[in-house]
Every structure is written in C-alpha cells, then in structure tokens.
C-alpha cells in the first residue's frame, strides 16, 4: 500500500531579481502556510542560514521564501533548494545558478552596484551626444545631476583638457560647439563631473561611423540651407549661384539642368562649389543660353531642387552687367601703369651718376614723361632718358644738391594714366647720407 502525502501548493517557482543597489534577490511563492511551517534552505547540498551576505526571509502567512545576496560572487554559484514542510504537507523547489546564467547574473549585478554607487555623487543622466544645428555647427551635449556648488566639470579631447567646452551649473548641461567640422576635430571627447562624493564621466568617439553619420546630417541640413538661385553678370559671362551654410563634396552631389536637360561642364559651361556656395558659370553668353535653370542637390536620401528663369529682363540685365565688367577689365588690363622698379627714396653722393629704372605696361604703348617737384623734366645736358621695351631709365650725371627732390614718371595711353614716384636726396662729400635723407624728406612736400 502506497501512502500519498499532501504537497504544499507552488504558486511561483524560483525568481531572480537584481535590486537597486546590485543585490540579488531569489524568491518563490507557495500557498499560505501555518505558523508551524518549516524551511530548510540547501546550497550545494549543505544547509545554509542567514548571514551578513545572505539574508534569508521566510514569511509563512504569505507563503514567501526569499534569499537576498548582498554582493554576488563566485562563492554564490551553485544550486539552491527550498525544502518546505507544513504538518504532513511537503514540497521541494530547486534553482541552479551556474554556467552562463550565473556569469550573466554576476555581470548585471556588478553593473547595477556600480551604477548605484555612481549615482550617490554627481553623475550624468544624459550621456555625450551630438546634433547638427541649423547653422551647420556640430554641438556636443551632455547633462549631469546631483551636483552642488563645489562640483567640478571638465571637457577633454584626445585625453587633453580643452577650454572650448561650456557648463551651466544651474541646469547641469555641458556643451561643446564645433563651428566647422574638420579632420582635426575627429577623435575621442570626454566630459567628467566630480566632487568629494565621487566622479562620473561620459565618452563620445567622433570617428568612423559616428563621423559618417554627422557628415551625412551636415549634408542634409546644408542642402536645406541653400538660398534661392541668383543671377549675376561677371567679367567672363553670367553666373547662377546659391549660397549654402555647408558643402561637402563627399556627402553632397549637385547636378545642373537647362530646360530639363542635364548640363555637363565644357568650353562655355563651368560648374563648381566652395564651402558656402554652389555655382554655374556661363562664359560668353548667347541667346541659346536663355531659359530655365535647375540646381539639384542630393544629400543622403534627400534631394532638393532650386530653379530660376534666365530670360527676358533677367537675361538682359545680366548680359549688360557682363558687358560693362568686361569693358572695365579691358581698360584695367590695357591702361598705362608703372609696374615696378622705383624705390621710395634714393640717396647718392654729389658728383656721382644716378640711374633709375622702372618697368611700365599698357596697350597701346604709353607716352612717357618725367616730373621733378610736379614740373616737367627737360632732358638736356646731364639728364638723359632711355626706353627699352617696357623698361624706362632716367640717368642724371654729376648730381648735385639742386637735383634733390621728388621725381615722378608719368605714363599715359587712351585707357588711363599712372605716376610712379621716388624721392632723390644728394649728400655732399663727408656728409652722412641718412642725416641728409631725413632733411630732404622734411623739405619735400608729401604726395597727395
């Protein structure tokens, strides 16, 4: 005859929780038990009792068995068995904390314990993160809490403290603004917060995939920042352009269209970009260049189109400005100029021969004349002028004190004129040249 003893009803088997300070809680629940109910807790085949590291609770009226392990370690690895008896009713429930299950639990408990200790002092509630502003700046932000007046906040880049970061003690927010992202800005950023209660840090690695994500976002916002297309007459032709707050050829693509047909750079069509501009240059514009122009900017998955109509008054105004600037450029290129050669001051001892040479330019070849103290120089006796191509030389033989003064070479053609000037000072035998030079400069009126 088999005797069947009643079993204590199991409501919930062993559960494993990690508490706020990193303690590990093992618990199970059975039906309500009488005050006479007994618990024997077996760990690795040996009965254990409450200790400073393992607290055992047995709440009979709730049917609760609980083990709280303060600091989980390798010593706690194994099987836990709760042997329950209430009168003749019995039950036995086992949980095994071994192998990978134990290792994962240990890591989580240690992490929770570290996190609790961290939060006892100043700590970060928002880790370092990046965002791109509307002005295409890269802003790094983080936020600390549980701070006080004595709390110290620091920014680091590549393990060196940097003064570029900011910190607002009222809000706990730290910010670091990168105006224009470059290769020099790539690296590891770190923010720390500390006081007598402890310290915490947060790290952001601004390289690799993170940098790619930032540059992609910069491209997207840069495309959105593009201004409406403008038309401008230039010396070479007509320019159509859009201003942008940011441009990166690796992360942004541009395509120009004329009357819905894609344009390619050629002899008369040039397209290009700078950090803040996207442009199309039409050289030597013709009537066939009239019509609708469209700029397409692609950044990642986003595409933006801008259009303008180069026809009617817009074309006429741009063409007129082109012709005006082209004429001015021709004048500037061909007008008479003194290119180089004359010093500001020339000093020489009396009775010597002075030679001054300068280089001129202009088309047609300029007329040349020399002035002394604003009066024409007569080339007789001791004064001589020689022109060899673009070089003009004035020679004064046996100079004397009367030759001191302000001289100018005046060149002129149909496109304009220019004067190159030099101050000549003649000093006597035995007289210091520098002393006399100062005297002559004081006597000669300034050039207006």
305 shares its domain with 325: yes
Residue 355 domain-assigned (yes or no)? yes
232 shares its domain with 328: yes
* Bond preceding residue 364 cis, omega within 30 of 0: yes
Residue 387 domain-assigned (yes or no)? yes
DSSP string, 209-274: HHHHHHHHHHHHHHHHTPPPPEEEE-SSEEEEEEE-S---TTT-EEEEEETTEEP---SSEEEEE-
E strand or H helix at 140, and its extent?
A: strand 138-145
pLDDT at 443: 45
133 shares its domain with 95: no
Number of domains in the chain: 4
Residue 285 domain-assigned (yes or no)? yes
Residue 293 domain-assigned (yes or no)? yes
40 shares its domain with 133: no
Round to whole Å and give the CA distance between 205 and 189: 6
Round to whole Å and give the CA distance between 101 and 105: 6
396 shares its domain with 432: yes
108 shares its domain with 128: no
- The tokens describing 155, both together, are 């920014």
Round to whole Å and give the CA distance between 291 and 278: 19
Residue 216 domain-assigned (yes or no)? no
360 shares its domain with 417: yes
pLDDT at 381: 84
E strand or H helix at 334, and its extent?
A: helix 312-334
Residue 212 domain-assigned (yes or no)? no
pLDDT at 446: 40
328 shares its domain with 260: yes
Cβ–Cβ < 8 Å for 176, 140: yes
Round to whole Å and give the CA distance between 226 and 244: 5
103 shares its domain with 133: no
47 shares its domain with 85: yes
Q: Which domain holds residue 145?
A: 123-206
31 shares its domain with 109: yes
pLDDT at 159: 92
Round to whole Å and give the CA distance between 58 and 64: 6
Q: Give the predicted TM-score (pTM) of the model.
A: 0.64
Q: Which of 312, 332, 352 is the last residue of a domain?
A: 332
What CATH number is associated with residue 285? 2.60.40.10
Q: Which of 74, 97, 115 is the last residue of a domain?
A: 115
> What residues does 190 pair with on adjacent strands?
156, 203
Per-residue pLDDT of the chain (448 residues; tens, 9 = 90+): 445 668 999 999 999 999 999 999 999 999 999 999 999 999 999 999 999 999 999 999 999 999 999 999 999 999 999 999 999 999 999 999 999 999 999 999 999 999 898 889 999 999 999 999 999 999 999 999 999 999 999 999 999 999 889 999 999 999 999 998 988 999 999 999 999 999 999 999 999 999 999 999 999 999 999 999 999 999 999 999 999 999 988 889 999 999 999 998 888 999 999 989 999 999 999 999 999 999 999 998 889 999 999 999 999 999 999 999 999 999 999 999 998 888 888 888 888 999 988 999 999 999 998 988 988 888 888 899 989 888 999 899 998 888 899 998 999 999 999 999 999 998 888 776 454 445 445 444 443 3
Residue 289 domain-assigned (yes or no)? yes
The Cβ-side half-sphere exposure at 281, using a 13 Å CA radius, reads 14
Residue 213 domain-assigned (yes or no)? no
pLDDT at 80: 96
Cβ–Cβ < 8 Å for 106, 76: no
In tens, the pLDDT along 220-272 reads 999 999 999 999 999 999 999 999 999 988 889 999 999 999 998 888 999 99
Distance from the first to the final alpha carbon of the chain = 134
Q: Which of 289, 305, 332 is the last residue of a domain?
A: 332
31 shares its domain with 73: yes
């Amino acid at each position: 005859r088999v005797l069947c003893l009643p079993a204590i009803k199991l409501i919930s088997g062993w559960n494993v929780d990690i508490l706020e300070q990193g303690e590990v809680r093992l618990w199970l629940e059975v039906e309500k038990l009488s005050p006479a109910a007994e618990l024997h807790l077996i760990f690795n085949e040996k009965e254990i009792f409450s200790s400073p590291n393992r607290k055992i609770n047995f709440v009979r009226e709730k049917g609760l068995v609980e083990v709280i392990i303060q600091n989980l370690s390798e010593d706690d690895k194994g099987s836990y068995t709760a042997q329950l008896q209430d009168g003749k009713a019995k039950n036995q429930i086992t949980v095994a904390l071994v192998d990978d299950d134990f290792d994962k639990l240990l890591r989580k408990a240690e992490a929770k314990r570290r996190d609790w200790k961290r939060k006892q002092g100043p700590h970060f509630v928002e880790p370092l993160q990046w965002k791109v502003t509307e002005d295409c700046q890269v802003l790094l932000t983080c936020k600390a809490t549980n701070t006080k007046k004595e709390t110290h906040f620091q920014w680091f880049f590549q393990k060196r403290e940097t003064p570029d970061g900011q910190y607002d003690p009222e809000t706990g927010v730290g910010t670091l603004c990168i105006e224009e992202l470059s290769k020099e800005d790539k690296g590891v950023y770190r923010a720390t917060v500390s006081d007598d209660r402890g310290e915490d840090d947060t790290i952001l690695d601004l390289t690799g995939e993170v940098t790619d994500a930032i540059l992609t976002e910069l491209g997207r916002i840069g495309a959105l920042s593009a201004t409406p297309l403008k038309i401008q007459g230039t010396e070479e032709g007509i320019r159509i352009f859009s201003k942008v707050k940011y441009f990166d050829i690796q992360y942004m693509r541009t395509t120009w269209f004329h009357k819905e047909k894609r344009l390619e750079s050629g002899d008369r069509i040039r397209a290009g970009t700078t950090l803040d501009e996207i442009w199309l240059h039409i050289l030597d514009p013709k009537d066939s260049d009239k019509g609708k122009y469209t700029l397409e900017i692609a950044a990642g998955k986003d595409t933006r189109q801008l259009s303008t109509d180069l026809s009617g008054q817009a074309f006429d105004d741009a063409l007129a400005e082109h012709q005006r600037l082209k004429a001015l450029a021709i004048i500037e290129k061909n007008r008479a100029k003194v290119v180089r050669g004359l010093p500001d001051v020339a000093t020489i001892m009396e009775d010597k021969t002075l030679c001054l040479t300068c280089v001129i330019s202009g088309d047609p070849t300029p007329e040349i004349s020399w002035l002394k103290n604003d009066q024409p120089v007569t080339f007789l006796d001791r004064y001589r002028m020689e022109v060899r191509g673009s070089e003009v030389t004035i020679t004064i033989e046996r100079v004397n004190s009367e030759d001191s003064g302000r001289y100018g070479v005046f060149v002129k053609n149909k496109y304009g004129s220019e004067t190159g000037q030099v101050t000549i000072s003649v000093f006597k035998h035995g007289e210091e040249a520098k002393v006399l030079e100062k005297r002559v400069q004081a006597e000669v009126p300034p050039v207006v």
